[in-house]
A and B are shown apart, each in its own frame.
Chain A
Amino acid sequence: MTTEGTPVLRTENLRLFFRTMKGVVQAVDSVSFSMPRRDALAVIGESGCGKTSLVRAILRLLPSNVHTYDGSVFLNDVDVMKLSEERFRTNVRWTKMSLVSQAAMNALNPVLRVGDQVAEPLIVHQRLSKQAALAQATEVFQLVGVSPDFLTRYAFELSGGMRQRAIIAMALITRPDLIVLDEPTSALDMLTQANIMNVLKGIKRDLEQSFIFITHDVSTTSELSDRGMVMYAGQIVELASAEQFYLDPLHPYSAKLMASVPTLKEKKELEFIPGQPPSLLNPPTGCRFADRCDRRFEKCDTEPPLEQLQDGRWIRCWLYNK
């Protein structure tokens, strides 16, 4: 994991709040982090922690009930938040950043041929001819391990695993700087998951691609990540290298999360975290995990800042901040 040159992605105080019938949900609350090139970052958290909203915030895929959306998103040091919607669409979305979304297998249009869909980003964004685009589609299909014969088929003729690979191909075809994957394998069988992970590993190695990988399945993330970022209640609580994170998580939440993951190879006693994450409608003042933490103390009544420790990791916890 080298940090050469500018980070491919950097956010500063990124905020995304939604307006709902019950009030304002503070889904992403001043998230700041940076990602070097050729890095694979795993964003880990449970439902409601804000990780999917983070994806939306970075890719500007916003629903109609947005309350607040500000902060900065630097893609290769260019603040894309400042771009107009139209410029963002043509220049950034899918050309420089693409998305493999949850249950992406269902994202394939059933009435279009697979090849046409996969080639579409090239035709739309890069104005390639259909022939040239399909040629690239063939190439990228080979990269993901699907026979180019399937370019002329329809979505229902492909199995679940193949559809997922087609979606990854579609995200890859414009050779973006960054690919964001939101739960890419959660709907798949174990063997197919492993196969897809192999595909992604190959792409990372051969194309030197950067990934952000979002999931709640901690074990799977270890397949691909160089670094791990844990989110809780809309904030980053820990950001560390893979070794640091999987072997020795420091933040009490990360530690408990790792302890709750059942392992096959080693026998361990499983722990669980009692209680529930706080509501994002009215986040508590002070540390948001304090309620469920068994190591809290008085200082936890004030919100700890995200600080970098000596070993390079970032952590938001009074136990470690000095």
Chain B
Amino acid sequence: MQQDQALLSVQNLRTWFELRRWAFARAGWVRAVDGVTFDLPRGEALALVGESGSGKSTLARTILGLYKPTEGDVVFEGMELSKLRASQMREYRQDMGYIQQDPYGALPPFLSLRSILSEPLRIHGIRDKAEQNRLITNVLTEVKLTPVDDFLSKFPHMLSGGQQQRAVIARAMILNPKLIAADEPVSMLDASVRVEILKLLRRIQESHNLAVIYITHDLSTVRYFAERIFIMYAAKTVEKAPVESLLENHYHPYTQALLAAIPDPDPENAKTLRDVPAGEPPSLVHPPTGCRFHPRCPRAIKGLCEVEEPPEFRPVPEHSVECWLYKDRDTTPGTA
């Protein structure tokens, strides 16, 4: 790929949380992210797909600087997160935006839209009222909350779900970031509104050349939004590929199960049972030995999968899998 530094580089990141029982005794660690590596260039939309507890939200939050890496590092625009002091965090966060799942919860209920949008500006030193107004107007126009003057004085509870999420997007965009982390941005919205918001996000991403990390558990939206997709399971990225490549060839057994589990609206569905693995995602405190999917995997290799954790293999260039089934199909290392 490019020679120059990628916008975001995640290097062998582990984010663990300490479990505390009594004041001083330690009960272990919740290993929410356990060894993730990837690069994200400017302008690329990446989808992180996984079930709850797979680590996708924690990964995004670590990248945003809300958690400190336990091991490994996150490098954003050359700044190494693990080495930053508290006073440097503001600079780190200046070029990042965050869109959360719950549009109503993400907005302070007692502030008007104008105040909500001017907060990030004030924090980052833009105090001139005229400049604030200009930026606010621009961003509201972009998310199509117009006429702008009508919306500025409104409070969050006066807006519909879709409008609230647009306000959240506006707030994320107001400092003109280079990276946006969107954590399940549409899952709490109605079906007909989801498409609207996703299209809006896509348009903004394209026009601003934004890097986007799009987190979701709903695979079916991914093809409308992202170029690359990572499948996460139990704190690891088990498969990484460009979207079309993944939809054609899903290698990891978990990915296969996921794709088999997702229904398209088809009346034939009611007549057959789906082929899905039983069981639940594993505990993040005591993950299974070896490959973490092996207890549920219909194709686990005895003697190997439960003993050793698989490294990344590339059966096809730009498409990596962490699965022993492909240990003989590793193509020459491309970039992923």
Give yes or no for direct A-B contact (beta carbon below 8 Å): yes
Chain A interface residues (CB < 8 Å from chain B): 40, 46-47, 159-162, 189-195, 197-198, 201-202, 216-226, 241-243, 245-247, 256-258, 260-267, 270-274, 276
A202 contacts B194, C-beta separation under 8 Å = no
A197 → B minimal CB distance (Å): 7
In the complex, the 9 A-B pairs of residues with the closest C-beta atoms, listed nearest first: A189-B51, A242-B267, A194-B261, A272-B195, A46-B190, A273-B192, A272-B196, A262-B220, A194-B276
B278 / chain A contacts, CB cutoff of 8 Å: 195
Say yes or no: A225-B261 contact (C-beta < 8 A), given A46-B190, A192-B280, A270-B195: no
A and B contact pairs by CB, cutoff 8 A, 24 listed: A46-B190, A47-B190, A162-B280, A189-B52, A190-B217, A190-B258, A191-B257, A202-B273, A218-B191, A222-B265, A222-B266, A223-B269, A225-B270, A242-B270, A246-B267, A260-B192, A260-B194, A262-B218, A264-B259, A264-B262, A264-B264, A270-B224, A272-B199, A276-B160
Contact residue among B52, B223, B273 (Cβ-Cβ distance under 8 Å from A201): B273
Contacts known (A260-B191, A264-B247); A270 close to B199, Cβ less than 8 A: yes
Measured between alpha carbons, how far is A160 from B52 in the docked complex, in Å? 11
The answer to whether B295 has its CB under 8 Å from any CB of chain A is: no
- Does B219 touch A at the CB level, under 8 Å? yes
Contact A226 B270 (CB under 8 A): yes
For the complex, what is the distance from the CA of A241 to the CA of B258, rounded to whole Å? 28
A256, B190: Cα distance in complex, Å: 13
Which of the residues B223, B247, B261, B267 comes within 8 Å of A191, measured between beta carbons? B261
| Known contacts A46-B190, A190-B262; A264/B220 CB under 8 A | yes
Interface residue total, chain B, C-beta cutoff 8 A: 42
In the complex, A40 Cα to B221 Cα: how many Å?
27
Q: How far is the CB of A7 from chain B (nearest CB, A)?
A: 19
Report if B72 contacts A (CB, 8 A).
no
Partner of B223, one of A225, A226, A267: A267
Per-residue CB contact flags for chain B residues 272-315 toward chain A (1 = under 8 Å, else 0) read: 01101110110000000000000000000000000000000000
Give CA–CA (A263, B220) in the complex, Å. 5
With known contacts A161-B280, A262-B220, A263-B265, A190–B194 Cβ distance under 8 A: no
| A66→B217 CA distance, assembly (Å) | 38
Across-interface contacts of B223 in A (CB, < 8 A): 262, 264, 267
Contacts of B224 in A (CB 8 A): 262, 270
Q: Does B193 contact A (CB under 8 A)?
A: yes
Q: Enumerate chain A residues within 8 angstroms of B281, measured Cβ to Cβ.
A: 189
In whole angstroms, what is the CA distance A198 to B224 when docked? Answer: 28
Cβ–Cβ contact B221 & A262, under 8 A: yes
In the assembled complex, the Cα of A162 lies from the Cα of B279 at a distance in Å of 10
The CA-CA distance from A281 to B313 in the complex, in Å, is 59
Given contacts A191-B51, A260-B191, A273-B192, contact A219 B273 (CB under 8 A): no
Cβ contact within 8 Å between A258 and B265: yes
Q: Which residues of B contact A159 (CB under 8 A)?
A: 280
Expressed in whole angstroms, the minimum distance between the Cβ of A227 and any Cβ of chain B is 10
Q: Judge whether B125 is part of the interface by a CB distance below 8 angstroms.
A: no
Q: A266-B264, A272-B193, A272-B196 are in contact. List 10 more A-B contacts (CB 8 A).
A: A194-B276, A222-B266, A222-B270, A223-B263, A224-B270, A241-B267, A261-B191, A264-B262, A265-B264, A272-B195
A61 to B199, CA, bound (A): 39
- Check B192 against A256 for contact (C-beta < 8 Å): yes
For window 29-76 of chain B, which residues contact chain A by CB distance below 8 Å?
A: 51-52
Cα distance A273–B219 in the bound complex, in angstroms: 22
Once the chains are docked, how many angstroms separate the CA of A57 from the CA of B264? 31
A107 CB to nearest chain B CB (Å):
19
Which A residue's beta carbon lies closest to that of B258?
Answer: A190
Nearest CB on B from A159, distance (A)? 5
B272 to chain A, nearest CB (A): 8
Measured between C-beta atoms, what is the minimum distance from A21 to chain B in Å? 13
- By a CB distance below 8 angstroms, the chain B residues around A263 are 220, 264-265
Q: How far is the CA of A189 from the CA of B269 in the complex (A)?
A: 18
A189 touches B264 (CB 8 A): no
Chain B residues, CB < 8 A from A217: 191
